[in-house]
Amino acid sequence: MLSLPFAFTCGLAALVLLPSVRQNPRLLAAFFGAAALLGAWILALLLWTRRTNRPLQLEVVLRKQHYLQACVQGSVLLYWGWYWPQVYASAHLILAQLLFAYAFDMLLGWSRRDVFTLGFSQCPVVFSINLFLWFKPDWFYLQFIMVALGLAAKDLIRWNKGGRRVHIFNPSSFPLAVFSLALLATGSSNLTWGQNIASTQFYPPQMYLMLFLIGLPGQFLFGVTSMTMSAVIATYAFGLAYHAVTGIYFFYDSFIPISVFLGMHLLFCDPSTSPRTELGRILYGALYGLSTVAFYQLLGSMGMPTFYDKLLPVPILNLSIQALDRLARSRWMRVLDAAALGQTLAPRVRNLSYISLWTVVFAGMSAAQGVGDRHPGQWLPFWRKACQDGRAYACPYLADLELGYCNQGSGWACNQAGLMHIALARSGEDFRRLDPAGATAPLQSGCTLGFQTACRNLIILSRGGENFANAPPTLSDYPIVLRGAKGDIRDRRPSALYSLACQEGWPETCDRASGSLVR
């Protein structure tokens, strides 16, 4: 039986022949180290079973929830990778994790019992982890440890639930949360692609719709629609209330960030680690949605990366599921029990009813731009107006946007970032921008990029002057400043750029949309 984990280990070791692995000494060491560890474990287990005459057995069980989850997650990776090439470039690293996961899980299982159940359970663990957090090649050995932690937690950390001994934590969310805490505590988020993952998952067109559609089969078969729907509704309702009070958006460029929406479909709603009652699942989903809001605010206020917001709550919620079920069954909560409305319906008919309701909700949110590609918060004109109107946090966020576009090569954005730095230094609104001299760097970058207004403003700043100049973007700036939260703009014809600018709220470009005026 040990020939099977040995084959997976050999497959992992064979990947060192790939040029991308051989050319990176630290990545090469990670592959050799993982293969050596598995090989030593195989040898030790072989000697132990021979000495104790202990038979090892293999049972093949193909559970629908595992292979369906793997197919859904794989589809997301493929679609996302078409628009962010780093996903496809990392295919061999995902394969390495799969090979490691199968070998590790087999060895762990046979080390603790005589029978190992072989199926697809390792695939959704690896795919789910890679949808939310990757370590860069120099630190890839930590990816193996993250996979091992998830599988070990599933096998070792268990409790009684409904008369059965089952795992407590979602096997992908537990290591994601543990490593998120470690990265936050050490300030080491730069070792990962975490921020890139959170932003680039919005690059594919209609990503919200894609996630909604591919989530439907699992929601129908496993009855988790109420969790996803309540999570989305709770977060969206908070976003609407926040916008009504402040005039800006809590998550800045969306009501629900795409990576959070992904977590609501493919991370926290594992039926094995969720409440069993319908009302418990509704509460569980609403708590997940609101906890992402709370963690986003907490991390942002501490100056930490906010992309961990959807990863940290899940293990906490996993621990709450039995309490939520007890609450749902309590006498005073029965009046709110949604399951009572469908007690006479067969389970699949009830699931279909929930899906129908979720479809109506999603369609309504899409029509109201609650989800989709056209949310106004992703574009500069919204934040320029919000800043002019004196909306709280709007000017610092606008400065951040302009500085980001400056770093991508827009001379106009560099000039604006410099002017915003000076304005914020005078107002004291942004503690990161209290010294007007800090405007020198973006203005210098703008001048280097050939934006002459930035050069003039740089001279004025160096002389202690006050009369700084503005100028509109040039045609070379628009492909950068119009992209919003999506990927690169592919149609860069002047007429197309001016038309897009007009649609996004740059009124001075509307008369140029025909392409008659070209800079």
Q: What is the 3-state secondary structure (H, E, C) of 259-317?
A: HHHHHHHHCCCCHHHCCCCHHHHHHHHHHHHHHHHHHHHHHHHCCCCHHHHHCCHHHHH
Q: What is the tens place of the pLDDT at every residue in 455-465?
A: 999 999 999 98
Nearest C-alpha neighbor of 268 from the set 203, 224, 237 = 224
Q: Please indicate, yes or no, whether residues 271 and 415 belong to a single structural domain of this protein.
A: no
CB 267 within 8 A of CB 172: yes
Q: How far apart are CA 37 and CA 103, in angstroms?
A: 11
Whether 211 and 154 map to the same domain: the answer is no
Q: What is the rounded CA–CA span in Å between residue 411 and residue 478?
A: 11
Strand partners, 59: 117
Indicate whether 518 belongs to any domain. Answer: no
- Strands 158-161, 115-118: pairing kind: unpaired
Phi, psi torsion values for 201, nearest 5 degrees = -70, -10
Q: Which residue has the tokens 């789910």?
A: 128
User: What does the alpha-carbon distance between residue 163 and residue 156 come to, in Å, rounded to a whole number?
Assistant: 18
Q: pLDDT higher for 387 or 512? A: 387
Same domain as 160, residue 224:
no
Q: Can you read off the two tokens belonging to residue 200?
A: 């680039």
Decide if 492 contacts 482 (C-beta within 8 A). no
Give the residue from 375, 395, 427 where a domain finishes. 375
**Backbone torsion region of residue 223, taken as left when φ is above 0, otherwise alpha when ψ lies between -120 and 50, otherwise beta:** left
Which pLDDT belongs to residue 15? Answer: 97
Q: Are residues 122 and 57 in the same domain?
A: yes
Q: Quote the CA–CA distance of 182 and 191 in Å, as a whole number.
A: 12
Kindly tell me the sign of the dihedral angle through the C-alpha atoms of 28, 31, 32, 34: positive
Same domain flag for 335 and 456: no
Q: Using the predicted structure, report yes or no on whether residue 209 has a pLDDT greater than 90.
A: yes
Q: What's this model's pTM, rounded to 2 decimal places?
A: 0.93
Same domain for 309 and 388, yes or no, is no
From CA 359, how far away is CA 258, in angstroms rounded?
Answer: 18
The single-letter DSSP state of residue 518 is: -
* Residue 29 and residue 119 share a domain: yes
For range 266-280, the mean pLDDT: 90
Q: State residue 517's pLDDT score.
A: 43
Same domain, 449 and 435: yes
Asked if the structure places residue 198 within a domain, the reply is: no
C-alpha to C-alpha distance for 269 and 164, rounded to whole angstroms: 20
The encoded tokens of residue 196 equal 């890139």
Site of tokens 């309540």: 230
Predicted local confidence at residue 244, as pLDDT: 96
pLDDT, mean over the chain? 93
* Token pair listed for 358: 């979720």
What mean pLDDT comes out for the span 50-68?
Answer: 92
Q: 385: domain range?
A: 379-474
Condensed to tens digits (0 to 9), the pLDDT of residues 336-368 reads 665 565 666 777 888 899 999 999 999 999 999
Enter the DSSP assignment of 507: G
Domain-located, residue 384: yes
Is residue 188 situated within a structural domain? no
Tell me what pLDDT residue 341 has: 56
pLDDT for 436: 93
Q: In this predicted model, what pLDDT tens digit does every residue of 407-416 receive, in sequence order? A: 999 999 999 9
Same domain, 299 and 402: no
Same domain, 345 and 389: no
* Domain final residue, candidates 148, 169, 190: 169
Claim to verify: residue 73 and residue 144 sit in the same structural domain: yes
Question: Residue range 76-80: average pLDDT?
Answer: 97
Q: Where are the alpha helices (DSSP H) in 305-410?
A: 313-319, 321-329, 347-367, 380-388, 394-407
Cα–Cα distance measured from residue 20 to residue 86, given in angstroms and rounded to the nearest whole number: 13
The residues, ordered by sequence, that sit 6+ positions from 245 with a Cβ below 8 Å of its Cβ are: none
Say if 323 falls within a structural domain.
Answer: yes
Q: Residue 148: what residue type?
A: A
Dig out the tokens for 48 from the structure. Answer: 């132990």
pLDDT score of 344: 64
pLDDT digit string, tens, across residues 124-181: 999 999 999 999 999 999 999 999 999 999 999 999 887 788 999 999 999 999 999 9
Residue 371 has a pLDDT of 96
> Can you read off the two tokens belonging to residue 240?
């609407």
- Our count of domains for the chain comes to 3
Q: At 9, is the pLDDT very low, low, confident or very high (cuts 50, 70, 90)?
A: very high
Q: 80 phi and psi, to 5 degrees?
A: -60, -45
Buried b (16+ CB within 10 A) or exposed e, 322-353: bebbebbeeeeeeeebbbeeeeeeeeeebbee
pLDDT for 516 equals: 43
Look at residue 62 and give its three-state secondary structure: coil
The answer to whether residue 35 sits within a structural domain is yes
- State which of 375, 395, 430 marks the end of a domain: 375
Kindly write down the DSSP assignment for every residue of 397-453, as one continuous string. HHHHHHHHHHHTT-HHHHHHHHHHHHHHHHHT--TT---GGGGHHHHHHHHHTT-HH
Instruction: Kindly state whether residues 329 and 418 are assigned to the same domain.
Output: no
Does residue 227 fall inside a structural domain?
A: yes
- Does some domain include residue 490? no
pLDDT at 444: 97
CA angle 297, 298, 304 (to 5 degrees): 100
Angle at 13 between CA 7 and CA 16, to 5 degrees: 150
- Which pLDDT value is given to residue 302? 92
* Angle in degrees, 0-180, between the axes of helices 91-112 and 122-130, rounded to the nearest 10: 140
Measure the CA–CA gap between 129 and 18, rounded to whole angstroms.
Answer: 23
Given this model, what pLDDT does residue 511 score?
79
